[in-house]
Amino acid sequence: MALKATIFKAELAVSDLGRNHFATHSLTIARHPSETDERMMARLIAFALNADEALEFGRGLSSEGEPDLVKKDLTGSIELWIDVGLPEEREVRKAAGRAREVKVYAYGGRGVAPWWSQNGVALSKLANLTVIEIPTAATEAMTAWAERSMRFDCTIQEGQVWLAARDETIHFEPMILSA
């Protein structure tokens, strides 16, 4: 018998000053049995950095060839495809062929540098791809906040991110590896 996903609820208030996006998003996050809290929280960061009413969580780990987050236009065409982690170069190329814009949010500390040195040259050739590294300190700190019901305030300004929950604040700057 297959294990079922664990459902998490998050209320995410986003104030993105650069994009003029100010909204509170009520999110339902299905965490795959093989997914860690750190990866789930990295998906939440990716949502916050791209927050939009049309952005939704994809099937991710439960389905190969599916994005972690996706934004479609009214015709069903994929405007934005987001992968979180260290995806295979071949999978990113496929996504770049299917979507107008692709973003990869790499996380995982020391694993990011070898992954980027192995795939960076090929990935940098994709015109519609942006690769962003989320600092390990941010994803690890957020892991302590993982609960079945969560509330976050996120402020984004000039490349800086402040994420607050439980009377604590995490400040970090995502690093763009390729744009």
Give per-residue pLDDT as tens, 81-110.
999 999 999 999 999 999 999 999 999 888
Question: Is the full-model pTM beyond 0.85?
Answer: yes
The token pair at 34 is 């093989």
pLDDT value for 87: 95
| Fold classified for 6-178 | Restriction endonuclease-like alpha-beta roll fold (3.10.640)
Q: Which residues of the chain have pLDDT under 50?
A: none
pLDDT value for 5: 84
Parse the chain into domains and list their residue ranges.
Answer: 6-178
Look up tokens 């049309």; give the residue: 54
pLDDT value for 19: 96
pLDDT value for 3: 74
Q: Is 34 exposed, middle or buried (0-12, 13-18, 19+ CB in 10 A)?
A: exposed
- Helix, strand counts (H, E) of the chain: 4, 11
In the DSSP assignment, the letter for residue 63 is: S
Closest CA to 8 of 21, 23, 26: 26
pLDDT value for 59: 73
